[in-house]
C-alpha cells in the first residue's frame, strides 16, 4: 500500500509541475506568438488542468502500449478542441497553437532527460 501511495504522490507531483508549466507556456504562445488578447490565466489554466488530470489518470494504462498511444492522441485532440472553443479560434489556428505547444513540450522533455 505504501508503494502505491508513493507512486500516486509522485504522479501528482509530476502532474502539478506539468500543469504549471503548460499553463504558462500556453498563455505565452497565445499572447506573444498569436497576438490574442488574454488578460487572465483562466483559459490556459483550465486547459492545462484538464490535460494534467487526464495525463495522470491515463498514466496507469501505460503498460498497455496501444491503448496508451490511443489515449495520447485523444488528449491532443481534446487540447486542440479546448483551445478552439475557449479562444473562439478557427481549427487551423488552434492546430498551429497545438503544434507550437507540442514542440516546446518536446524540447522541455529533452531538457528534463539531459538534467536527470
* Reported confidence tier of residue 68, pLDDT bands at 50, 70, 90: confident
Which residue from 56, 43, 69, 46 is spatially nearest to 15, judged by alpha carbons?
A: 56
Quick one: pLDDT at residue 76? 92
Q: Cβ(98)–Cβ(79) under 8 Å? A: yes
pLDDT tens by residue, 8-52: 888 888 888 888 888 989 998 988 888 888 777 888 999 999 888
109 pLDDT more than 90: no
What residue spans define the domains of the chain? 2-115
Could you give the 3-state DSSP secondary structure of residue 3?
helix
Quick one: pLDDT at residue 39? 78
Amino acid at each position: 500500500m505504501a508503494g502505491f501511495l508513493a507512486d500516486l504522490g509522485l504522479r501528482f507531483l509530476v502532474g502539478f509541475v506539468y500543469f504549471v508549466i503548460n499553463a504558462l507556456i500556453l498563455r505565452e504562445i497565445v499572447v506573444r506568438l498569436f497576438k490574442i488578447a488574454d488578460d487572465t490565466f483562466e483559459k490556459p489554466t483550465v486547459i492545462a488542468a484538464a490535460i494534467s488530470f487526464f495525463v495522470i489518470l491515463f498514466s496507469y494504462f501505460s503498460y498497455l502500449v496501444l491503448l496508451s498511444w490511443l489515449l495520447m492522441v485523444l488528449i491532443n485532440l481534446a487540447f486542440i478542441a479546448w483551445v478552439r472553443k475557449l479562444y473562439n479560434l478557427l481549427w487551423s489556428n488552434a492546430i498551429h497553437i497545438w503544434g507550437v505547444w507540442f514542440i516546446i513540450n518536446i524540447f522541455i522533455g529533452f531538457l528534463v532527460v539531459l538534467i536527470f
